[in-house]
């Protein structure tokens, strides 16, 4: 276990490289993270602005529809008395014929909540819907009448589509015929707008998530690259150091061999001289003995 730990232990150079690289990589990752968050916030603000602009465009369109319709039969309403049933019937007939698109229609409620015009939902005609609420508990007819009493305005609520029966969010503009105590208006479903906004918001969140993923991958890759580069440089320096050490060792070995040879030669020469001296002394002694010299 200790051998394994020692084998994978970081050297001083590796620790120094890691210590220098990690703060840099973390700083870059933090900057990228903040930039991604800012981009997300900006995109969501733009989507919110787009939603507001689209809804405002729908509101302007609805108001224009109601204004044009009112101007179209004002010659009837303007000259009629509050109890002119013939004029009321004529205006109601005109409004009932003013259907547009797949879902568009005009409606009329009197101030008591009775439906007088509803061309796409004829089963509501002459029914009283005071107190009616949508599935979320939002007052519908009572609120429309109250807005009409105040001169006109917008109301948002859930309403079943006449074409499919599916409930969807609707924006309505309503105005009043005060002498007849009518609330007259028209509405448009905005599920297409909400769906487009939801899709755009989902796309933004998906892009932000991908950006965070890219940041993580790049950060890890950068860290590995820096650490790997440090390891490569350290390994290269170690190889160079090993080569220089090997060369130095060889030079020391060669110097030792040369010194050993020199000492051997000097020792050989010294011994040879001693042997020559001894031989000379022996020869000299032998000659003296042969001559009988003492």
User: Is the CB of residue 37 less than 8 Å from the CB of residue 197?
Assistant: no
Q: What number is the average pLDDT over the span 269-273?
A: 68
Q: Which of 117, 116, 110 is nearest to 178 (CA)?
A: 110
What does the pLDDT average to over 15-27? 69
Helices (H) and strands (E) in the chain, counts: 6, 5
pLDDT tens digits, one per residue of 123-149: 999 999 999 999 999 999 999 999 999
pLDDT, tens digit, for every residue of 165-202?
889 999 999 999 999 999 999 999 988 888 888 888 88
Q: What is the CATH number of domain 100-189?
A: 3.30.450.20
Please give the model's pTM, rounded to 2 decimal places. Answer: 0.62
Q: What is the pLDDT of residues 32-60, one digit of tens each?
A: 778 777 877 877 788 788 888 888 888 99
Under the banding of pLDDT at 50, 70 and 90, the label for residue 102 is confident
Tell me the average pLDDT of the chain. Answer: 81
Return the domain boundaries, the chain: 100-189
CA gyration radius, the chain: 52
- Tell the residue number behind the tokens 């009493």, with chain if given: 149
Are 170 and 58 a contacting pair, CB within 8 Å?
no
Q: How confident is the model at residue 111 (pLDDT cuts 50, 70, 90)?
A: very high
């Amino acid at each position: 276990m200790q051998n394994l730990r020692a084998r994978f232990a970081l050297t001083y150079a590796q620790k120094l490289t890691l210590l220098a690289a990690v703060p840099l990589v973390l700083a870059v990752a933090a900057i990228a993270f903040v930039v991604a968050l800012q981009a997300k916030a900006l995109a969501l603000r733009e989507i919110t602005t787009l939603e507001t602009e689209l809804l405002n465009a729908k509101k302007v369109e609805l108001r224009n529809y109601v204004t044009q319709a009112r101007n179209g039969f004002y010659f009837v309403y303007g000259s009629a008395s509050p109890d002119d049933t013939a004029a009321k019937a004529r205006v109601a007939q005109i409004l009932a014929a003013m259907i547009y698109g797949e879902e568009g229609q005009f409606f009329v409620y009197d101030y008591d909540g009775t439906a007088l015009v509803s061309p796409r939902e004829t089963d509501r005609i002459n029914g009283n819907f005071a107190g009616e609420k949508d599935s979320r508990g939002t007052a519908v007819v009572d609120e429309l009448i109250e807005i009409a009493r105040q001169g006109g305005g917008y109301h948002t609520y859930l309403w079943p589509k006449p074409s499919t029966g599916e409930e969807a969010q609707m924006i309505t503009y309503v105005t009043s015929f005060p002498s007849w105590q009518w609330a007259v208006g028209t509405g448009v479903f905005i599920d297409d707008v909400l769906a487009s906004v939801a899709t755009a918001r989902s796309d933004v969140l998906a892009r932000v998530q991908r950006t965070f993923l890219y940041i993580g991958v790049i950060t890890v890759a950068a860290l590995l690259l820096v650490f790997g580069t440090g390891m490569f440089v350290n390994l290269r320096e170690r190889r160079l150091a090993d080569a220089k050490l090997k060369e130095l060792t060889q030079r020391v070995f060669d110097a030792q061999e040369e010194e050993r040879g020199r000492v051997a030669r000097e020792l050989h020469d010294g011994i040879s001289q001693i042997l020559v001296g001894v031989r000379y002394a022996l020869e000299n002694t032998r000659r003296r003995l042969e001559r009988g010299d003492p």
